[in-house]
Amino acid sequence: NAGVTQTPKFQVLKTGQSMTLQCAQDMNHNSMYWYRQDPGMGLRLIYYSASEGTTDKGEVPNGYNVSRLNKREFSLRLESAAPSQTSVYFCASSAGDLAGTEAFFGQGTRLTVV
Amino acid sequence: GNSVTQMEGPVTLSEEAFLTINCTYTATGYPSLFWYVQYPGEGLQLLLKATKADDKGSNKGFEATYRKETTSFHLEKGSVQVSDSAVYFCALMTGFQKLVFGTGTRLLVSP
């Protein structure tokens, strides 16, 4: 019963390096999301995908790109990491077809950019 | 735009005390409202929800009522336990299934 799986759990990058955060869900959900969590800021939406083949910007998309590879997988890429991207990143998914549909979250990726 | 405002924490209580965490929202249309909880080192999990005005969500002794007239969704529990120590997030969902979160309120319960 995996739910939403994120990899890696921890990562340290140097400024300017690139990396991809992976996310997969096994609940056959249509919608997937990437959030970042910063102290005192709550969770802010980076990108979301309402269905396979579509992606849209959220509140804080600058410096990130996403790929909805298939219905299960939604990756987040940092092309040139900056210290301001130090954060905890959460992937989430939901069925997305009814009002009030619950979102399920992964365990998070703690990213530090030095 | 849509937004959620929560009371700042931390909220520090003794075991068996009454809990209220305030949440108000701004949204166009009729959003669904949620409370999520985050235990240390974990992701968020749904605590309760309400999808229309006057609905009451409840779970594990926690309750919240969707008040359209005051645009509020305050979280309450009659008697907190040490195991309730966590961060609580109020959130709303509007069209396109986008969840918008408040900043979170940390609850610390001491024995």
List, for residues A7-48, the tens digit of each pLDDT value: 999 999 999 999 999 999 999 999 999 999 998 888 999 999
Do the Cβ atoms of B51 and A100 come within 8 Å?
Answer: yes
Residue among A43, A51, A57, A109 with most chain B CBs within 10 A, to mutate:
A43
Q: Are B80 and B68 in contact (CB under 8 A)?
A: no
- Long-range CB pairs of B78-84 (<8 Å, 24+ gap) are B78/B18, B79/B16, B79/B17, B79/B18, B80/B13, B80/B15, B80/B16, B80/B17, B80/B18, B80/B19, B80/B107, B80/B109, B81/B15, B81/B16, B81/B109, B82/B15, B82/B109, B82/B110, B82/B111, B83/B109, B84/B19, B84/B109
Q: Are B28 and B43 in contact (CB under 8 A)?
A: no
pLDDT digit string (tens) for A72-106? 999 999 999 999 999 999 999 998 766 678 889 99
